[in-house]
Structure 1
Amino acid sequence: MLEKDHKTIFTNWLEEHSSSVMKVARAYTLTADECQDLAQEILLQAWRSLANFEGKASAPTWFYRVALHTAMNWQRKDKRRRSRQQPMLEVQAVPMDGPSSAEQAQQRDTVEQLYQAIHQLPKADAALVLLYLDEMSYREMAEVLGISESNVGVKLNRAKKSLSTLMNKESHGS
Structure 2
Amino acid sequence: MADGDHKSQFMGMVDEHGSSVMKVARAYTLTSEERQDLAQEILLQAWKSLPKFDGKASLSTWFYRVSLQTAMNWRRNDQQRRLRQQPFLDFQDFANATDCAEAVQQREVVEQLYAAIHRLPKTDTALILLYLDGLSYREMAEVLGISESNVGVKLNRAKTALSELMNGKANGP
Q: Which residue of 1 aligns with 2:112?
A: 113
Structure 1 Cα separation of the partners of residues 153 and 68 of structure 2:
20
1:146 and 2:151 are equivalent in the alignment: no
Identity of aligned residues (%): 70
Q: 4+ runs of 1 displaced by more than 2 Å?
A: 87-91
Q: Which residue of 2 aligns with 1:21?
A: 21
SS at match of 2:167: helix
Q: Which residue of 2 aligns with 1:130?
A: 129
Structure 1 residues 14-163: aligned runs within 5 Å: 14-86=14-86, 89=90, 90=92, 101-163=100-162
1:4 and 2:4 are equivalent in the alignment: yes
Letter in 1 for 2:124: D
Give me the CA root mean square deviation.
1.7
Letter in 1 for 2:118: H
Structure 2 Cα separation of the partners of residues 127 and 110 of structure 1:
20
Structure 2 Cα separation of the partners of residues 109 and 6 of structure 1:
40
SS at match of 1:169: coil
Deviation at 1:79, TM superposition (A): 1.2
Q: Please, what TM-score do these two structures have when normalized by structure 1? A: 0.90
Structure 2 Cα separation of the partners of residues 78 and 161 of structure 1:
27
Structure 1 Cα separation of the partners of residues 44 and 68 of structure 2:
13
Structure 2 Cα separation of the partners of residues 101 and 155 of structure 1:
37
Letter in 1 for 2:8: T
For structure 2, list consecutive stretches of 5 or more residues without a partner in the other structure: none
Q: Please, what TM-score do these two structures have when normalized by structure 2? A: 0.91
Structure 2 Cα separation of the partners of residues 45 and 8 of structure 1:
16
Deviation at 1:117, TM superposition (A): 0.2
Deviation at 1:102, TM superposition (A): 1.1
Structure 1 Cα separation of the partners of residues 24 and 103 of structure 2:
23
SS at match of 2:38: helix
Structure 2 Cα separation of the partners of residues 114 and 39 of structure 1:
20
Letter in 2 for 1:47: W
> Between Structure 1 and Structure 2, how many residues are aligned?
164
CA deviations 1:113-149 (Å, max 9, x no partner) are 0000000000000000000000000000000000000
